Amino acid sequence: MSLWTMIGLMAGGFGKTCAIFFLTLLFSLPLGMVVALLRMSKVKVVSGIVRVIISILRGTPLLLQILAVTYGPHYLFGADVSKNKLIPVVIAFAINYAAYFAEIYRGGIESMAIGQYEAADVLGYSKFQTFMHIILPQVIKRIMPSITNEIVTLVKDTSLAFAVSYQEMFTIGKQIANSQTSFVPFLVAGVFYYVFNAIVDFVMARVEKKLNYYN
Amino acid sequence: MILEMSNIKKSFGDNEVLKDISMHVDKGEVVSIIGPSGSGKSTLLRCATFLETIDSGNISYMGKSAVTTDDSGKAVYSHHKDLAEFKSYFGLVFQQFHLFPHFSVLKNIMDAPIKVQKRPKDEVYKEALELLDKMGLTGRGDAYPCQLSGGQQQRVAIARALALKPEILFFDEPTSALDPELTGEVLKVIKQLAEEKMTMVVVTHEMPFARAVSNRVIFMDGGVIVEQGDPEEVFGNPTQERTKLFLKNYQK
C-alpha cells in the first residue's frame, strides 16, 4: 500500500475525528459551567455529590469511561450497541471534559476579587447580571490558557475512540498498521494530530490576544 | 433626613465591632468619620450600604424603613425588591476603586444606568461625558482602567457612582490606596461635590481635608461614637480624652 493510499484512507476518518472534537467542545464547555456552579452550591449535599462525580471522572481513565458508556448499556439492559458509536463516544468525552472544564471554571470564578461583586451589588446589578456581565467575562480571560491546554489534549484524546472501533482517523490507521504490518500509519497519525494542534494553537493565540485589551 | 441609623449592633464572631451606634445624615450635609484602624468606621459604612448585615438596629433612607428590628431584637431586612430601591438611594466609592477592568472608562460609568436603571443610552452617554469633564478626565472615556493612574481610577469610580444619581454618596477611605501625590486630585473632586451640596459621608484619615470640607465630624473608637460635632470644635477643642489622644498622635 502506497503512502498516499494510506493517507487517503486515514483522511477519510478525519471527519469523524473532527465530529468527536467539535461535538465534545460544544457540549462539555457549557456543561462544565453547570457542573462548576453545582460544585460551588451552598447546598452541601449538592456540592458534595458533584465533587465525588468530578473526582471519579478525573480519577479514572477516559478510555475506561468510553468503554463503559459504549458497552455499559449492553451489559446492563442487553441493548444493541453496534450501531452509531458516535453518540456514546461523544457522551463519554463530553462528560469527562465537562469535569475538567468545571474545575477550571471554578478556579477562575473563585479567583475573582470580592470587590467586583461588592461594586456590582452597590451599583444595583442583579446576581445574574453580575455573573454574566462582570464576573464571567473576566473569568474567561483568566482561564483561557488552561482551556487551551484542555483543547490540545482533546485533539489527541480523540484517538481513544479506537477502543470501541469507532472509525475515526486513528482507528483506521491502526487497522492499516495491523493489516500491512507497518508503523507508517502511526507516523501519519502523529503528523495529523500535530498539524491539527498547530491550528488549535494558532486560533487560541488569536483569541487570547483579542482578550488582551485590558490587564 | 437622607439616612438614619439607630442602635446599630454588629459582631464578627465574638468581636463586637459596632456597639449600639446611632447616626443620621441630613440633605446636603458632608459628614466625615474619623478614628483609629479597627474602630468600626468602615464597617459602619458597609452596614449602611448593605454589604454587611447588621445584627440589630434600624436603617432608613429618605424616611423609609429599610431595616427594622423585631421583638426578639434581631434585624429584619426589607424584601429583596424593596432593598433594590433603597440601593438606588446611595452610591459607594471604595478604597480600592473596584472598577470593572474589562470595561472602558465610559462603559464603567454608563453600564449601570443603562442596565440597572434602564435609562436611554444617548441620555446616559451625554451625562457620562459631563461627568468625565467634571472629574477632569475629558477625553479619557475610551481608556481602560489599567491605563489610568490610581487617582484617575478613583475619579472614574466617583463618576460611576454619581451616574446613578444617588441621594447620598459614601466614601470608604477614598485616598488610602493612593500615592501621596495623587490624593490631592481626588480630594479636590470631593470638595467640589461638597460645594455643590452633594450629601456625603466620608471615612477618612485625611484630617485637614475632613476639617475643611465637613459640616460635621464623627470620631469613632472601639465601635462607639466617642464625639461628634462641628469640625472646628472636634479638631480644635475636643472634649473627650480619646479624641484628644487620637488627634495628638495623628499630628506626629
pLDDT digits (tens, 9 = 90+) for A107-118: 999 999 999 999
Instruction: Answer yes or no: are the C-beta atoms of B214 and B28 closer than 8 Å.
Output: no
Which pLDDT belongs to residue B249?
85
| Inter-residue contact B203 to B29 (CB < 8 Å) | no
Amino acid identity at B139: G
pLDDT band at A80 (very low <50, low <70, confident <90, very high): confident
* B112 contacts in chain A (CB < 8 Å): 123-125
ipTM above 0.85, yes or no: yes
- In 3D, which of A209, A188, A200 has the Cα closest to residue A153? A200
Look at residue A73 and tell me whether its pLDDT is greater than 90.
no
Residue of chain A with shortest Cα separation from B165: A123
**Inter-chain touch B115–A129, beta carbons under 8 Å:** yes
What residues of chain B lie within 8 A of the CB of A128, using their CB?
Answer: none
Report the residue of chain B nearest A215, measured CA to CA.
B146
CA atoms within 13 A on the CB side of A206: 5
Q: Is the pLDDT of residue A91 over 90?
A: yes
Radius of gyration over every alpha carbon of chain A, rounded to an integer in angstroms: 20
Q: What is the CA radius of gyration of chain B?
A: 18
Closest CB from B49, B98, B117 relative to A115: B98
**pLDDT of A75 higher than 90:** no
Which of B159, B169, B186, B151 shows the shortest CA–CA distance to B105? B159
Tell me whether residues A123 and B116 touch, CB distance under 8 A. Answer: yes
Its sign, for the CA torsion B157, B161, B162, B167, is negative
Q: Residue A46 burial by CB count (10 A; 0-12/13-18/19+): exposed, middle or buried?
A: middle
Query: What band does A76 get if pLDDT is binned at 50, 70 and 90?
Result: confident
- Interchain contact, A123 vs B112, CB within 8 Å: yes
Q: What is the grid cell recorded at B7?
A: 442602635
Q: Is B75 helix (H, G, I), strand (E, B) or coil?
A: strand
Task: Using alpha carbons only, give the angle A126, A146, A125 rounded to the nearest 5 degrees.
Answer: 5
Contacts of A138 in chain B (CB under 8 A): 101-102
Residue A141 contacts B where some CB pair is shorter than 8 Å: yes
Q: Is the dihedral of CA A131, A136, A138, A142 positive or negative?
A: positive
Task: Write down the H helix ranges in chain B.
Answer: 41-48, 80-87, 105-115, 121-134, 150-162, 180-195, 207-213, 231-236, 241-251
Query: What distances in angstroms separate CA A165 from CA A61, A155, A188, one per listed residue?
Result: 17, 18, 19
Residue range A25-40, pLDDT digits in tens: 999 999 999 999 999 9
**B100 contacts A213? CB cut-off 8 A:** no
In chain B, residues with a C-beta closer than 8 Å to the C-beta of A115 are: 94, 96, 98
Beta-carbon separation of B87 and A118 below 8 A:
no
Please tell me the predicted confidence (pLDDT) of residue A172: 94
User: Is the Cβ of A74 closer than 8 Å to some Cβ of chain B?
Assistant: no
H helices of A12-135, where? Answer: 14-39, 44-59, 62-77, 86-110, 114-123, 127-129
Q: What is the pLDDT of residues A173-188, one digit of tens each?
A: 999 999 989 999 999 9
Instruction: Using alpha carbons, select from B6, B121, B21, B128 the residue that is nearest to residue B60.
Output: B6
Instruction: State the average pLDDT over residues A84-110.
Output: 95
**pLDDT tens-digit profile of B98-136?**
999 999 999 999 999 999 999 999 999 999 999 999 999
Q: Which of B129, B166, B135, B162 has the alpha carbon at shortest distance from B148?
A: B135
Q: Answer whether A84 touches B (CB < 8 Å).
A: no
CA dist., res. A170 & res. B101, Å (int) = 44
B104: nearest CA in chain A?
A214
Give the DSSP letter of residue B39. S
pLDDT higher at B64 or A84? B64
The Cα of A122 is separated from the nearest Cα of chain B by a number of Å equal to 7
What are A156-213's pLDDT values in tens digits?
999 999 999 898 999 999 999 999 899 999 999 999 999 999 999 999 999 999 999 8
Cβ atoms < 10 Å from Cβ of B195 = 10
Encoded amino acid at A59, one letter: G
**According to the model, what pLDDT value does residue A84 have?**
83
Q: Global pTM?
A: 0.90
CB A70 within 8 A of CB A85: yes
Euclidean distance between CA atoms B228 and B216, whole angstroms: 7
Q: Do A119 and B94 touch (CB under 8 A)?
A: yes
CA-based nearest residue in chain B for residue A125 = B116
pLDDT attached to residue A79 = 76
pLDDT tens per residue, chain B (252 residues)? 999 999 999 999 999 999 999 999 999 999 999 999 989 999 999 999 999 999 999 999 999 999 999 999 899 999 988 888 999 999 999 999 999 999 999 999 999 999 999 999 999 999 999 999 999 999 999 999 999 999 999 999 999 999 999 999 999 999 999 998 899 999 999 999 999 999 999 999 999 999 999 999 999 999 999 999 999 999 999 999 999 999 988 775
Q: What do you get for the CA distance between the two ends of chain B, in Å?
A: 37
**In this structure, what DSSP letter does residue A160 have?**
G
